[in-house]
C-alpha cells in the first residue's frame, strides 16, 4: 500500500536498511520487549525506539524519560487512549553542533546541564534560560554541560526534526480504522508528505492497490 511503502522507505533511510512495519495488526496494549505497561490516556510517553518487526500502529520499545530522550540522536513519542491503544506516534531526530563555550562566558552556571533559547537577534548567541521541560516543544536551543568545578565541558546547539507524525482511529471492535500521517520527505517542495490510510473492520487496508 502507498502509505506503508512510504513509511518503510523513510525509516530505511534513517536506520540504514532495517525493515519496518511488516504486518498490519493493531495491538491492544503497549508492549515493550515482551512486557506490557499501563498508560494514562492523553499523556506523552517517551521511548528509545519501536519494534521494527511488529505492527501498524508501531509497538514502542525501551521506555525512558525526557531527560534521557533529550540527549539521544533519535527518540519516539507515543500517546495512548483509555484502552491503552496508540493514538499518536512521532519520531524525532536530533543533531548537535559543538559551539564555542565562550558564548556563555558571562553567565555563572552551576554544575549540570543548562538549556538556553537561541537569540532572536543573533542566532549564534544564546538567549533566555530554559528549563529542561521547556525544550520539549522546541526544534532548536542550546545545551551547556558544566562540571563540578564550574568549567563548561560542552556547549552544543541542538536542532530537531520530526520525521513521522501519525494519528490512529479504531473501530469499535478494536481494529485499526484510520491512520492520518505526516512524514518528512525532502524530495517534496513542502518537505513532508501527508495523507490518510483507511482500514476495514478486520484491520486490512482498503486503500491498497
**Each residue of 13-34: pLDDT tens digit?**
444 333 333 333 333 344 443 3
Tell me if 80 sits within 8 A of 110, measured CB to CB. no
Residue from 55, 87, 94, 81 nearest 167 by CA: 87
The three-state (H, E, C) secondary structure of the chain, written as one string = CHHHHHHHHHHHHHHCCCCCCCCCCCCCCEEECCEEECCCCCCCEEEEEEECCCCCCCEEEEEECHHHHCCCCEEEEEEECCCCCEEEEEEEEEEEEECCHHHHCCCCCCCEEEEEEECCCCCCCEEEEECCHHHCCCCEEEEEEECCCCCEEEEEEEEEEEEEEEEEEECCCCCEEEEEEEEECCCCCCCEEEEEEEECCCCCECCCC
User: Percent of the chain having pLDDT more than 90?
Assistant: 53
> Which residues are bridge partners to 204 per DSSP?
none
- CA 114, 139, 127, 96 dihedral sign is positive
pLDDT of residue 140: 94
Distance of CA 17 to the CA centre of its chain: 19
Backbone phi, psi, residue 12, to 5°: -60, -40
| Mean pLDDT for all residues in the chain | 81
Answer yes or no: is pLDDT of 166 > 80: yes
Residue position matching grid coordinates 506503508? 4
Answer yes or no: is pLDDT of 3 > 70: no
pLDDT of residue 30: 46
Amino acid at each position: 500500500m502507498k502509505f506503508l511503502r512510504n513509511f518503510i522507505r523513510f525509516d530505511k533511510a534513517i536506520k540504514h536498511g532495517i525493515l519496518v512495519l511488516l504486518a498490519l495488526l493493531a495491538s491492544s496494549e503497549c508492549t515493550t520487549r515482551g512486557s506490557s505497561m499501563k498508560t494514562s490516556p492523553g499523556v506523552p510517553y517517551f521511548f528509545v525506539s519501536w519494534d521494527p518487526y511488529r505492527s501498524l500502529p508501531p509497538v514502542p520499545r525501551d521506555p525512558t524519560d525526557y531527560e534521557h530522550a533529550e540527549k539521544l540522536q533519535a527518540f519516539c513519542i507515543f500517546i495512548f487512549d483509555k484502552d491503552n491503544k496508540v493514538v499518536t506516534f512521532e519520531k524525532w531526530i536530533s543533531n548537535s553542533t559543538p559551539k564555542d563555550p565562550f558564548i556563555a562566558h558571562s553567565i555563572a552556571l552551576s554544575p549540570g546541564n543548562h538549556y538556553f533559547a537561541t537569540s532572536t537577534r543573533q542566532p549564534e548567541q544564546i538567549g533566555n534560560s530554559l528549563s529542561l521541560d521547556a525544550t520539549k516543544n522546541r526544534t532548536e536551543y542550546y545545551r551547556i554541560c558544566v562540571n563540578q568545578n564550574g568549567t563548561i565541558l560542552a556547549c552544543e546547539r541542538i536542532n530537531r526534526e520530526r520525521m513521522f507524525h501519525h494519528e490512529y482511529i479504531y473501530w469499535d471492535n478494536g481494529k485499526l480504522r484510520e491512520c492520518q500521517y505526516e512524514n518528512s520527505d525532502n524530495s517534496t517542495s513542502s518537505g513532508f508528505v501527508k495523507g490518510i490510510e483507511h482500514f476495514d473492520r478486520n484491520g486490512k487496508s482498503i486503500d491498497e492497490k
